[in-house]
Structure 1
Amino acid sequence: MEELISQLQVHARRFWKYRWYAMGVMWLCALAGWATVLTMPSDYQASARVYVDTQSILKPLLSGMTTVPNVEQQVSIMSRTLLSRPNLERVMRMVDLDLQSNSARQRERALDQLAATIKITGTSSHDIYTISYRGGEPKQARDVVQSLLTIFVEGSFTGKRDDSRQAVRFIDDQIRGYETRLISAENALKDFKVRYTGLLPRQGDYSAQLADAADALNTARLEMDEAEQARNAIRAQMGGEPPRKGKDRRPVRINNPELDARIALVAKDLDALRLQYTEQHPDIVAAKRLIGQLEARKIEESKHPYRDNDPGRNYSPMLQQLKVAQTEADAKLAAIRVRVAEFGARHARLLEQSKAVPEVEAQLSQLNRDYQINKDNYEKLISKREAAKLSGELSSTTEMMTFKIIDPPTLPLTPVGPDRPLLTTLTLCGALCAGMLTAVLIGQARPTFASPAALRELTGLPVLGTVSLTWTEAERARRRHSRLVLASAFGALVFAYGAVLAASVLRT
């Protein structure tokens, strides 16, 4: 502690010895600093606060129809990208700052300075954003904030609108491509169906049709067997009752009641069948064939004029009934045989075609699958395009988010910087420190011994004696005058500080 006190005493003596140098440095530093502070340009700050209302009633109404844009994220991204280079260049053009730049380097420096003096702050919970700018001119500060506010509002709408237009153009290109594929798939499917029209399944698959044809053939054969058994039974009954012989014979007439009755019976059955089936039905074809055969037989028998025209004349009534039943059984059997033949030919044709059916069905399934895939994708793209258009319109509409200017940018009247009173005080403190440091450094450059102990300690030799200095009366008066001048100089420095401080306060 004593050593520290002695060091402080040494430095104090050095300072006092070179006090005039210290005072000169103080004045020089103070005057230079105060002149710099007073000539510094004033900074004017303009700011604006805007509230973004993102709670729109359109969100719940259109949530199921299209992709509702995330307006909160949209506004947040725009606020972060507001200080991008294109936006800053646009601000410079809007406020004519680019006219002050004569070279590319000056333009870059102006862009950097503009970006450094703009501040954008916001609250995530209340969607309130503050845009502020500090510049050397009040009008310029207000214009810059107004330009940033305009870009912020417009960019929140146009950004998503451009994205939606690009998405719609991309989807349109995809739709045209899928439309071409869909037409090609439709033509390929049509040509395939025309080429293999006989092998394509109509109801169910081809194996089901083959099974149905086999079942129909077996049923027809069973009916044919039943009809043959019924006819044979009638013939057996007819063989048990012989005909009655008679002597009277009449000449044969052209009309034949037996054949007429059979033709009428078959025609009646044909009319009934026509009410149920078409002309190509096997039963109708068989009935027509039987009528033709009976007509031919009638014409053939009409060529013999002396035949007995009453076939039932020599038969009993029971035999005549059996004869009619036999005729009906023959007609039914003939129709069933035609049906069996038709079903057999159909079954044979299906059985022959069944060898090529699996390959045809596989190709048809592949064509249908390709066509369905292209159709589904085409319809999805159509719906996506409409959704993209609606989403773009939602993003660009002012109903999704509303901008409310809370504090519009105004023309600042008083500067916000620099803080001249603080800088003036710091300049005085720095000048005082610089003066004292100068005196101490000069004292170290020109060392002297302030006491015999310091000389003895440095040299290690004993001090034999000291010579004291005695001041005369004139010298004492001169010393008092010197102290008075030093105090006046320091007082003048403090007074100058007060004057500069007052000027700084009045200027701000």
Structure 2
Amino acid sequence: MDSLIAQLMAVFKRMWRYRWPGLIAAWVVGVVAAVVVFVVPDRFEASARVYVDTQSILKPLMSGVAVLSNTEQQVNMLSRTLISRPNVEKLVRMADLDLRATSKSDQEALIERVTRNLSIQTASGGSNNLYILSYRDSSPEISKKVVASLLSIFMESSLGTSRRDSTTAATFLNEQIKNYETKLEEAEARRKEFRLRNLQLTAADGKDSAARLAEASNQLEAARLQLREAVSARDSARSLLDIEQKRSATGGSLASLMQESAQKFATPELDNRISELKRNLDQLQQRYTDQHPDVLNTKRQIKDLEDQRRKEVADLQKAALASPAAAGGRNDSLANQELARTLATKEVEVAQARARVDEFSSRYNSAQGAIKLAPQLEAEFAQLNRDYDIIKKNYTEMVERRESASLSTDLDNTSGVADFRIIDPPRASPKPVAPNRLMLLAGGMVVALLAGLVAAFAASQVRPVFHDLNELRHRLELPILGAVSRQETSEDRRRAKVDLLRFGVASGSLVSLYALGLIGMAIWLSRQGG
């Protein structure tokens, strides 16, 4: 601490040595500051207050039907971006400020000055929709005119921005709708081409490939059963024809022939099915009771097949008996012809059944081949449908939004973006609001004193001197053998006192002049305020 105090005292002593250059610098800066304070022109401020009413009764009524813009956000953003170069250039022309500028550099300086002096603020402590527009200039009339022009631009820009946004939105939506119409037509064409190329997948019966394969398999089995039955009936008719031919040739008895025919009238297809069902019935009866549904169903099938077998055998026997009875009055050739016609009919039925089997076999093979491609085709068709659904959904949404945007435009044109209410019209202050000469003068005095101190300190650093042996020993780092002191005379002490008195008068005069100036300016300002 002692070392710090010693260093400060050494600095003060060196500055005291150059007190007169510092005082001269303080006087120069003080005089210049005072002249600047009194030369700066007065600035007058004009302002206007406007309230922006963003509430409308149509908003709750049209909610969900039209796109309601955030009017408060639009106005807030407009107030923040209103002071832009295009608007300032327009403001300069409206307020006739460009008449002052004769060159391009003057115009640029004018635009920069107007931009710097313009201000748009929200009222403090009040609603955010209450705005204060202000401008400062050396002329109160020009300030008022600039504020009036700025207020007009502020009110016109809101409506113009809304209309430009509506037009831009409508143009964009129309372009998007046209694009989606083209995409939708292309997607519909792809779906149509896919349906025509894969009719087996997109058949109108609503069945998939597995269902069609099962149906083809059932139809094939039924056709094969009919073929076997037709073959059995044909074989029976052929047996009857053979019996008749033998009887006619050998003249054998009817009983023996009927016995032989009964053996040949056997139906192997039905017999095989009956035997298979009986074996299944034995297995079911070993596991279930006679009242079990499977047992009852199997018995019913066996009974139906036996009845069918008896009916077929009876028909064949009846045909065989009819031939000898008719032969009693006719010759054997007529019976043979009748049996031959019956055999021909059965041959036709067999051919028809075989053709039906071939047709259903072809369908079954086609369905079996289609089921292998079904997953790939279904995936492709699902992708087409997914793309088509997305495009159609977007197209529908775009059309709905275009109608909503059209309704919103009509709503904005009807009700306007907002209702502007001028609370205070543009008005210029009768007294200047700037500069604050009292504060500037006090600041000038402080700056002058600081300038004197800085000048003395700078001079002491340029030409330093040593006032203490310890400081000299510390700076030179050499041993000091001794010091020679100066003997002051009475004349030296008198000159020192006179110099100190002169310095005090000079510095006191500077402070006193500034103090008198502050007092006089305060009195003058208070009289203007009264």
**Structure 1 residues 187 and 174, CA, compared in 2 at 3 Å: closer, same or farther?**
same
Q: TM-score, normalised by structure 1?
A: 0.56
Partner of 1:47 in structure 2? 47
Question: Which residue of the other structure, out of 162, 180, 183, is the alignment partner of 1:181?
Answer: 183
Cα deviation digits, residues 203-259 of structure 1 (max 9, x gap): 212332232133234345556777954444323245468638988x9xxxxxxxxxx
Query: Does residue 384 in structure 1 map to residue 466 in structure 2?
Result: no
Partner of 1:145 in structure 2? 147
Report SS of the residue matched to 2:146: helix
Q: Structure 1: which 5+ residue stretches go unaligned? A: 250-307, 312-322, 324-328, 442-458, 471-486
Answer whether contact 1:50 1:130 (CA < 8 A) is retained: yes
In the TM superposition, residue 382 of structure 1 has moved relative to its aligned partner by 4.2
Partner of 2:421 in structure 1? 405
In the TM superposition, residue 63 of structure 1 has moved relative to its aligned partner by 5.2
In the TM superposition, residue 43 of structure 1 has moved relative to its aligned partner by 1.7
In the TM superposition, residue 44 of structure 1 has moved relative to its aligned partner by 1.9
Partner of 2:211 in structure 1? 208
**Residue type at the aligned position of 2:412:** T
Report SS of the residue matched to 1:80: helix
Greater helix percent: which structure? Answer: 2
**Residue type at the aligned position of 2:218:** D
Cα deviation digits, residues 434-491 of structure 1 (max 9, x gap): 999999x9xxxxxxxxxxxxxxxxx975869747999xxxxxxxxxxxxxxxx99999
Partner of 1:298 in structure 2? none
Q: TM-score, normalised by structure 2?
A: 0.54
> Partners of 2:386 and 2:110 in 1: how far apart?
61
**Residue type at the aligned position of 1:408:** D
In the TM superposition, residue 422 of structure 1 has moved relative to its aligned partner by 4.7
Answer whether contact 1:224 1:337 (CA < 8 A) is retained: yes
**Residue type at the aligned position of 2:432:** P
Cα deviation digits, residues 179-208 of structure 1 (max 9, x gap): 333333433443454455577533212332
Question: Number of aligned pairs?
Answer: 399
Cα deviation digits, residues 50-91 of structure 1 (max 9, x gap): 344445555555554565433443333323222233333332
In the TM superposition, residue 416 of structure 1 has moved relative to its aligned partner by 1.7
**Residue type at the aligned position of 1:233:** A
Partner of 2:325 in structure 1? 243
**Structure 1 residues 465 and 113, CA, compared in 2 at 3 Å: closer, same or farther?**
closer
Partner of 2:261 in structure 1? none
Output aligned runs, 1:97-116, within 5 Å.
97-116=97-116
> Partners of 1:132 and 1:403 in 2: how far apart?
17
Report SS of the residue matched to 1:410: strand
Partner of 1:257 in structure 2? none
Report SS of the residue matched to 2:435: coil
Report SS of the residue matched to 1:120: strand
Partner of 2:127 in structure 1? 126
> Partners of 1:407 and 1:171 in 2: how far apart?
40
Answer whether contact 2:134 2:147 (CA < 8 A) is retained: yes
> Partners of 1:464 and 1:421 in 2: how far apart?
47
Answer whether contact 1:68 1:394 (CA < 8 A) is retained: yes
Cα deviation digits, residues 26-49 of structure 1 (max 9, x gap): 8x9888766654553322222233
Output aligned runs, 1:51-130, within 5 Å.
51-56=51-56, 64-65=64-65, 68-122=68-122, 126-130=127-131
Answer whether contact 1:46 1:409 (CA < 8 A) is retained: no
Q: Structure 2: which 5+ residue stretches go unaligned? A: 1-5, 234-308, 459-482, 495-507
Report SS of the residue matched to 1:408: strand
Partner of 1:233 in structure 2? 314
Percent identity among equivalent residues? 27
Report SS of the residue matched to 2:83: coil
Output aligned runs, 1:441-460, within 5 Å.
none
Partner of 1:299 in structure 2? none
**Residue type at the aligned position of 1:209:** R
Answer whether contact 1:161 1:392 (CA < 8 A) is retained: no
**Structure 1 residues 428 and 500, CA, compared in 2 at 3 Å: closer, same or farther?**
farther
**Structure 1 residues 42 and 466, CA, compared in 2 at 3 Å: closer, same or farther?**
closer
Report SS of the residue matched to 1:411: strand
**Structure 1 residues 119 and 493, CA, compared in 2 at 3 Å: closer, same or farther?**
closer
Query: Does residue 417 in structure 1 map to residue 434 in structure 2?
Result: yes
